[in-house]
Amino acid sequence: MRGAIIAAGGPSRRMGRAKPLMSVAGVPLVVRVAKIAEAVAEDVVVVTKPRWSSHLHKILPHSVEVVDDNNRIQSPLVALISGATALASEYVAFLACDLPLLSSRLLESLFKSAMGHDAAIPRWPDGRIEPMVAIYRRTAALSAAREALAAGGRANTDMIGGLADVRYVSTEELRATDSNLGSFVNVNTPADARAAEARITRGRAFPRGRAAPRRSRRSPRARSPGGRSRSYSPRPSPRSTRSRP
């Protein structure tokens, strides 16, 4: 059985409002991601902060479970732990809530790639990875995330470093299921949302993810093995980080 965890509790500072509830082409972002997740997974949970919980219950399909996250720590690992605890699936997709061009075909391919491994994570040619459009063995990821948080880690890479068997899947290979890799485009600002909406209304993206990735103007920061932050030049997804050697 497959599951999916959608992280919808971030602060949305650059958006200026609750990102999960923001509509793109008439559909809230979190609903778009949930519907794609349901196309490939039997059980889907959305992890959010209590202040948004009642709103999400109103807009999400009844088949999607909403899990409240009361932890004050702001980290995707908290969402992963809450979602993985609520599920019983062997493998789970771990997804951000702001992926308007996400492709179910790409997720299906990643689920197949994850079989027999602790994770299947997309990796760009420059070594950067997409940890929140990825598949994880639920029990392995749950254990690694708990250990990372206990050690003071907050980044997805801190959890991934605790997995014994990670399969990295080339983004070039994934073009067979999402030709322009639109699945990795996320929405951080109102301008991003307008751009995604334009692509969707032109019929180029949803639900099969055909839009070209957007380049970030800011360098994302990833935690290095030594604990200090490390900057990288802008690449296709602002959320992507470099994999560890």
The pLDDT assigned to 168 comes to 98
Mean pLDDT across 170-182: 96
| DSSP-derived secondary structure letter, 234 | -
The pLDDT assigned to 75 comes to 92
The pLDDT assigned to 213 comes to 42
Higher-pLDDT residue of 244 and 9 is: 9
**Residues 6-54: tens digit of each pLDDT:** 999 876 666 657 888 888 999 999 999 999 999 999 999 999 999 889 9
Check whether 86 has a pLDDT greater than 90.
Answer: yes
Contact yes or no for 192/238 (Cβ under 8 A): no
The pLDDT assigned to 241 comes to 67
Using DSSP's 3-state secondary structure scheme, residue 237 falls into: coil
CA distances from 9 to 47, 68, 131, 159 (A): 7, 9, 17, 19
For the whole model, what pTM was predicted? 0.83
The pLDDT assigned to 16 comes to 58
Query: Which domains are delineated in the chain?
Result: 2-242 (3.90.550.10)
